[in-house]
Amino acid sequence: MRKVKKRRGATRHRPWPLSQRPGFLIRRLHQIHVALFQEACGEFEITPLQYSLLSALAVRQTADQTTLAADIALDRTTTTGALKRLAARNFVERAVNDEDRRARLCKLTPVGAALLARIEASARAAHRATLENLSEQEQAAFVDMMQRIVAAHSNRDSGSAIFD
């Protein structure tokens, strides 16, 4: 059998198991959370993204779509589409901004506020279920670590990422 010569300086890389890659685990955790959210909140026919938008509007009262996109760390186009779907169901009001005719100001409708109040317990249950295999101390530490990572990379988004 012939010996294969190793090039000088070349190192052999061991495969990196998916189960040890932070990006893979974060994506899987997101998939799991979305499934748990659907199980807990399916009757409301609201996605986690729409729930985030309703929550952000509840805090801000009135906000333009660009501000809401920044609040939930999403691009304006996706945010606008979600807001249009919420408006079609009478959960959100989108009015032309008198100060900037190109912008839309959004606010919760009474129907949207009522939905948010009804879904809150179920949404919290989904969030708890996502972390239920951790002790309370581990949950607090995990959330703290996620907040630190997000804060450290707050200037990054996936808008410039390359996808297959």
Enter the tokens of residue 131.
């972390």
Instruction: Output the pTM of the full model.
Output: 0.80
Residue 131: what are its φ and ψ, rounded to 5°? -110, 10
Residue ranges of the chain whose pLDDT lies below 70:
1-11, 157-164
- Distance, CA of 95 to CA of 83 (rounded, Å): 12
pLDDT of residue 2: 59
Enter the tokens of residue 89.
């169901």
pLDDT of residue 162: 45
CA torsion 61→64→68→73, rounded to 10°?
Answer: -160
Rg of the chain (C-alpha set)? 21
pLDDT of residue 161: 44
